[in-house]
């Protein structure tokens, strides 16, 4: 399982990378962590003519925390997030989800932005980015642009990236006080592609849900934002340990709305059922973490 030939470049600046990418056209690929790309090359499922290795671009290797945002550059590895106490303390949803990405060796090399750009329907990061109202920072030969997460993910393994563009950073707003988060996924084995998962945040004030975000993993087209479920929750009283009925209703909305696909691991029917289970469990976790508010 040796890859086909490609031309390989390891530029040291973003501008140079973008130039090579633009010249390469539709058959060029960015190589960051390589944990999704290299298996495809080794299996000859993908045969890019040009590989642009961005690992030498130091300017992309940063993790920036401000009062309002966490910004993660393109070379930040999953493991880097797990080693950062600021992420663990202030972006618990991201932290928890990252813990469930594959296995240690994969997390050491794989990048957050790479996962976002790849948009595997079973991946954790796209859904987390949507739930946290994140932003994707894109660079191309024509310059930079930013997109809200939901607009970035356009379908199975598809994003709004145009030829010659790449993701240079993702940004997460700091969750407001009173927010609890929950991330759950169910895979055949720990670290496998999730059959379904849910990323939930609930902002509770005086027992009332002021804000709800719920995104479902594994539904086939990329992160599924469960708006109907969110609508059920917002403005509702969600007493700690007394909100089972409402959460169940929210889960039902999820079931009714998702349109998962069949594959060798799970039928659409099962995934739909599982989506509801995951949604409820994530919401329960979020409610508990939102604490006594």
Partner 1 sequence: MAREQSIRLTVNGRVYERTVPVRLSLADFLRDHLHLTGTHLGCEHGVCGACTVSMNGRSARSCLTLAVQTDGAEIVTIEGLRAADGTRHPMQQAFLENFGLQCGYCTPGMLITAIELLRENPQPSEQDVREALSGNICRCTGYQAIVDSVLAVARDTHASEKRESA
Partner 2 sequence: MSDARFINQKVVGSSVLPDEAIPLVEGDGRFLNDIHLPGMYHVAFLRSQHAHARIRTVDTTKARALPGVITVLTGKELLGKVEPFRSMPNRFSGGESVQHWLAVDKVRFCGEAVCAVVAEDRATAEDAAEFIEIDYEPLPVVTDPRLGEQEGAALVHDTCPNNYLIKREFERGNVDEAFRNAYLVVKRKFKIGRKQALCLEGRGCVAGYRESTFGLTLWISHQLPYVVRHYLANHLHLAENDIRVVVPHTGGGFGQKASIYPEEFVCAYLALRLRRAVKWVEDRLENMVASTHARDQTIEVAVAVDRDGRILALSSDVCVDVGAYSTYLWSAGMEPLQTAGLMPGPYKIPAMRYLTRGVATNKTPVGPYRAVGRPSASASLELLLDEVARRLALDPVELRARNLIPVEAMPYRNANNLVHDNVNYLACLKLAAAKAQYERLRVEQHSANGKLRGIGIACYAELTGLGTSTAVGPGTLLQPGRDAVTLRLETTGVLSIAAALPSQGQRIMTAMRQVACDELGIALDGITCVNNDTAMAPYGFGTFASRTAVFGSGAVIQAAKELRRRILALGAHLLQVPVGELTIVNSVIQTIDRAKTLPIREMAERSYFSAKNIPPELNPGFEVTSFYDPKFGSFAGGAHIAVVDVDAQTGEVNIVRYVAAEDVGTIINPAVVEGQIIGGIAQGIGEALLEELVYDEAGQPRTVTLADYLVPSALEIPRIELHHANTPSAALGGFKGCGEGSIIGALGAVTCAVADALNRRGGDIHDFPATPERVLKGLGILPNET
Residue among 7, 27, 44, 83 that touches partner 2 (CB under 8 A):
44
Instruction: Give the 3-state secondary structure of residue 213.
Output: strand
Residue among 67, 85, 190, 241 that touches partner 2 (CB under 8 A):
190
Q: Name the residue nearer to partner 1 (CB basis): 52 or 243.
A: 52
Q: Name the residue nearer to partner 1 (CB basis): 104 or 173.
A: 104
Taking CB under 8 A as the rule, which mask of x and - marks residues 146-185 in contact with partner 1? ----------------------------------------
Residue with tokens 């929950």: 182
CB of 268 to partner 2, least distance (A): 8
Q: Name the residue nearer to partner 1 (CB basis): 172 or 186.
A: 186
The total of other beta-carbon atoms located within 10 Å of residue 143's CB is 8
CB of 218 to partner 2, least distance (A): 13
Main-chain dihedrals φ then ψ at residue 40, nearest 5 degrees: -70, -35
Q: Name the residue nearer to partner 2 (CB basis): 22 or 261.
A: 261
Main-chain dihedrals φ then ψ at residue 203, nearest 5 degrees: -105, 120
- CA 72/CA 168 separation, integer angstroms: 9
Taking CB under 8 A as the rule, which mask of x and - marks residues 234-273 in contact with partner 1? ----------------------------------------
Residue 195 binds partner 2 (CB under 8 A): yes
- CA 63/CA 75 separation, integer angstroms: 9
172 binds, among partner 1, partner 2, none (CB under 5 to 8 A by kind): none
Where b means 16+ CB within 10 Å and e means fewer, 22-52 reads eebeeebbbbbbbbbbeebbeeeebebebbb
Q: For partner 2, which stretch binds (CB under 8 A), given 17-25, 110-118, 152-160, 258-266?
A: 258-266
Residue with tokens 């940004």: 171
6 binds, among partner 2, partner 1, none (CB under 5 to 8 A by kind): partner 1
Residue 245 binds partner 2 (CB under 8 A): no
Q: 144-148, long-range: CB within 8 Å, 24+ apart, which pairs?
A: 144/168, 146/171
Q: Which of 288, 222, 292, 282 is nearest to 93 (CA)?
A: 282
Residue 3 binds partner 2 (CB under 8 A): yes
Residue among 22, 79, 147, 261 that touches partner 1 (CB under 8 A):
79
Instruction: Give the 3-state secondary structure of residue 51.
Output: strand
Residue 68 binds partner 1 (CB under 8 A): no
Q: Name the residue nearer to partner 1 (CB basis): 190 or 292.
A: 190
Q: Which of 134, 79, 74, 131 is nearest to 101 (CA)?
A: 79
Q: For partner 1, which stretch binds (CB under 8 A), given 33-41, 139-147, 150-158, 216-224?
A: 33-41
Residue 106 binds partner 1 (CB under 8 A): yes
Instruction: Give the 3-state secondary structure of residue 205.
Output: strand
Residue 25 binds partner 1 (CB under 8 A): no
Contacts of 35 (CB under 8 A, 6+ apart): 102, 106, 109, 110, 114
- CA 195/CA 234 separation, integer angstroms: 27
Residues forming contacts to partner 1 in the complex (CB under 8 A) are 1-10, 31, 34-35, 38-39, 42-43, 51, 53, 55, 79, 102-106, 108-109, 189-191
């Amino acid at each position: 399982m040796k890859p086909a030939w490609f031309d390989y470049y390891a530029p040291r600046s973003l501008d140079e990378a973008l130039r090579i990418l633009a010249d390469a056209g539709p058959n060029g690929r960015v190589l960051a962590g390589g944990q999704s790309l290299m298996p495809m090359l080794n299996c000859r499922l993908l045969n890019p003519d040009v590989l642009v290795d961005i690992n030498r671009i130091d300017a992309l290797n940063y993790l920036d925390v401000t009062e309002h945002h966490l910004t993660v550059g393109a070379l930040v590895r999953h493991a880097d997030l797990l080693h950062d106490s600021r992420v663990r303390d202030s972006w618990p949803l991201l932290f928890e989800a990252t813990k469930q990405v594959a296995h240690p060796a994969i997390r050491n090399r794989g990048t957050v932005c790479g996962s976002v750009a790849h948009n595997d329907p079973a991946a954790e990061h796209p859904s987390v980015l949507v739930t946290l109202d994140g932003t994707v920072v894109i660079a191309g030969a024509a310059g930079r642009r930013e997109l809200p997460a939901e607009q970035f993910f356009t379908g199975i393994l598809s994003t709004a990236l145009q030829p010659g563009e790449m993701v240079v950073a993702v940004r997460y707003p700091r969750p407001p006080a009173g927010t609890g988060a929950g991330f759950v996924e169910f895979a055949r084995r720990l670290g496998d592609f999730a059959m379904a998962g849910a990323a939930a945040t609930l902002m509770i004030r005086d027992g009332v849900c002021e804000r709800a975000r719920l995104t479902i993993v594994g539904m086939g087209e990329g992160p599924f934002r469960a708006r109907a479920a969110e609508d059920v929750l917002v403005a509702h009283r969600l007493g700690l340990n007394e909100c089972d009925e409402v959460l169940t209703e929210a889960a039902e909305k999820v079931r009714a709305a998702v349109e998962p696909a069949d594959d060798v691991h799970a039928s659409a029917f099962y995934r739909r059922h599982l989506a509801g289970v995951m949604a409820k469990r994530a919401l329960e976790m979020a409610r508990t973490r939102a604490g006594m508010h």
